[in-house]
Amino acid sequence: MLTTTLSDFRKDIKSYLDRVTESFDTLIINRGKDTGVVIMSLEEYNSLKSTQHELFSRKNQQRLDQSIESLKSSKKLYKDLLD
């Protein structure tokens, strides 16, 4: 995670944005007492939104937890695909 001030960000905006997009770093720009802005790559943002969607319902959370536990305990489930 990167942090900077607004004035430093202005001085070298291209470098900061390149680092965020190339290394998937998150940039926090401090704007004063307890305020700031977070900048992240579009790919990282889309990943977070996808995860949020998957975990939105309790049923999806439970299904995901069960799948993880099955993998950890080496239980495998085989299903035939429909044509």
**Residue 76 pLDDT class (50, 70, 90 cuts):** low
20 contact partners, CB below 8 Å, separation of at least 6? 2, 26, 27, 39, 40, 41
User: What is the rounded distance in angstroms from the CA atom of residue 43 to the CA atom of residue 20?
Assistant: 10
* pLDDT tens digits, 6-50: 999 999 999 999 999 999 899 999 998 889 999 999 999 999 998
Can you spell out the DSSP letters for 38-62? Answer: EE--HHHHHHHHHHHHHTSSHHHHH
Query: What pLDDT does 77 receive?
Result: 67
Query: What pLDDT does 75 receive?
Result: 65
